[in-house]
Amino acid sequence: MAGEPHRIVVVGAGFGGLEAIHHLKGAPVEITLVDRRNHHIFQPLLYQVATASLSTSEIAWPIRHLMRGRPEVTTLLGEVTGIDALARQVLLKDGARLAYDTLILATGARHAYFGHDEWEPHAPGLKAIEDATTIRRRILLAFEKAERETDPEVQDALLTFVIVGAGPTGVELAGTIAELARDTLAPDFRRIDTHKARVVLVEAGPRVLAGYPDDLSDYTKQSLESLGVEVVLGAAVTECTADGVVYGGKLLPARTIVWAAGVRASPAAEWLGVPADRNGRIIVEPNLTVPGHPEIFAIGDTVSLAGPNGKPVPGIAPAAKQAGVYVARVIRARLADAPAPPPFHYKHQGSLAQIGKKRAVIDFGWIKLRGALAWWIWGIAHIYFLISVRSRLSVALSWLWIHTRNQRSARLITQGSDEDDSHAQKV
């Protein structure tokens, strides 16, 4: 019917989806935002929840709260299982269908175990709040169990923490776990010396932070080793079990393993039956539409698109946000019968990774930074991009407390499995 608002469905309340909605404010549209979780996560700091540095509420916000000032936006909690592109409908797990005129897929990514999904129970990845609290529980329970263990070999395995993959997440996890054991937990235990905990970072490639310049990569490796992290390079993991990891043909006994080695896109390409790269990401057109479907946009970790340097646009928050802004511009132009914007052009704003307290690396392209100055810039940048003033103040105070007192207040063992719960009750 003439005059009816244009119906937009956005799948995924990550950085890209929210940015697109933000820049569609005031347009003659009705937006339905659907996500299988009721909260938006600031993923760059998710590892700090996993390592007891921050609480979940400091880096996550209810989606409905974020959309409360947008009456044209309807928020739905639901899981998308498919797309009927011919009928222009999004299919939900409960059987419901959402009709759209324009669809924005911002469905993110999941863990990739390179054909070994059976490793996931033993080596969880880090993509959601549930992942972070699971990892935090396993790390803290390892120390609790080690405090009571009388068998030296079992105790050593409990105090061995393996991180698979030396990208930014792996590096940040390794450095923070090492500091947790060395600085935070040492005064709290009586039978074990937490300084003796082993943190092992295993990388199949020849260096850590492969996407960074060589000098920053070398600095990162040296900094991790100075924190007590064992960095193992050129060693692909061939097995993960409840007893440990196998690399180089040898088993390293370890009861806590974290997977940071790779990701795979959501099944959006399978829903549409369109070409995808080896990681399942949709190969989109230069205007971020799905080939053969100009009414469907895909952004963020869901897509594969070459950047200005010929390399794929990285799956990081700034790239998703830029894509969200661009898609909103294209939709506005279409609604106004105006000329389409030029093809999407990703502008890399820099790569940042924290190693530990007063240690970080930053690559802005035109300048490279390391050490304390990089750490301060890293912290300020992350605080700035948090959504609320309350979160900014809370995170800043938490980091100040960690920096001055070596205390991490989020050391709660929660949401345990039956086995973990029964053990925790005896501790």
Digit-coded pLDDT (tens) for 69-112: 999 999 999 999 999 999 999 999 999 999 999 999 999 888 88
Tokens 């795979």, located at residue: 264
Cα 34 from Cα 11, distance rounded (Å) = 5
pLDDT of residue 348 exceeding 90, the answer is: no
Tell me which residue of 208, 60, 199, 47 sits closest to 132, measured CA to CA. Answer: 47
Angle at 317 between CA 325 and CA 333, to 5 degrees: 10
When the pLDDT of each residue in the chain is averaged and rounded to a whole number, the result is 92
- Split at pLDDT 50, 70, 90, the class of 140 is very high
Cα 297 from Cα 257, distance rounded (Å) = 36
Quote the pLDDT of residue 417. Answer: 54
Residue 223 near residue 359, CB atoms below 8 Å: yes
The interaxial angle of helices 168-179 and 214-226, nearest 10 deg, is 20
Lowest mean pLDDT among 124-128, 186-190, 305-309: 305-309
pLDDT one-digit tens code per residue, 30-78? 999 999 999 999 999 999 999 999 999 999 999 999 999 999 999 999 9
SS3 138: helix
pLDDT of residue 161 exceeding 80, the answer is: yes
Angle at 364 between CA 363 and CA 366, to 5 degrees: 115
pLDDT of residue 360 exceeding 80, the answer is: yes
Quote the pLDDT of residue 123. Answer: 96
Q: Mean of the pLDDT values across residues 149-170?
A: 97
Torsion of CA 57, 60, 61, 62, to 10 degrees: -100
Q: Which of 58, 172, 179, 285 is catalytic?
A: 172
pLDDT of residue 184 exceeding 80, the answer is: yes
Quote the pLDDT of residue 148. Answer: 96
Q: Mean of the pLDDT values across residues 152-177?
A: 97
Q: Mean of the pLDDT values across residues 326-352?
A: 95
Q: Mean of the pLDDT values across residues 324-336?
A: 98
- Split at pLDDT 50, 70, 90, the class of 416 is low
Q: Residues of the chain with pLDDT > 90: what percent? A: 78
pLDDT one-digit tens code per residue, 290-321? 999 999 999 999 898 887 777 788 888 999 99
More confident residue, 179 or 414: 179
End-to-end Cα distance, the chain: 66
Tell me which residue of 139, 405, 356 sits closest to 397, measured CA to CA. Answer: 405
Active site residue 172: yes
Cα 210 from Cα 314, distance rounded (Å) = 13
Name 63's Cβ contacts closer than 8 Å, sequence gap at least 6: 13, 33, 35, 37, 38, 39, 40, 75
Structure tokens, 258 = 């974290």
pLDDT one-digit tens code per residue, 377-410? 999 999 998 988 888 889 988 888 777 776 776 7
How is 283-334 classified by DSSP, letter by letter?
E--TTSEETTEEEEEE-GGGEE-B-TTSSBPPSSHHHHHHHHHHHHHHHHHH
Cα 84 from Cα 128, distance rounded (Å) = 27
Residue 14 near residue 109, CB atoms below 8 Å: no
CB atoms within 10 A of CB 249: 7
Cα-to-chain-centroid distance, residue 311: 21
Quote the pLDDT of residue 331. Answer: 98
Name 50's Cβ contacts closer than 8 Å, sequence gap at least 6: 126, 131, 132, 133, 135, 136, 139, 173, 258
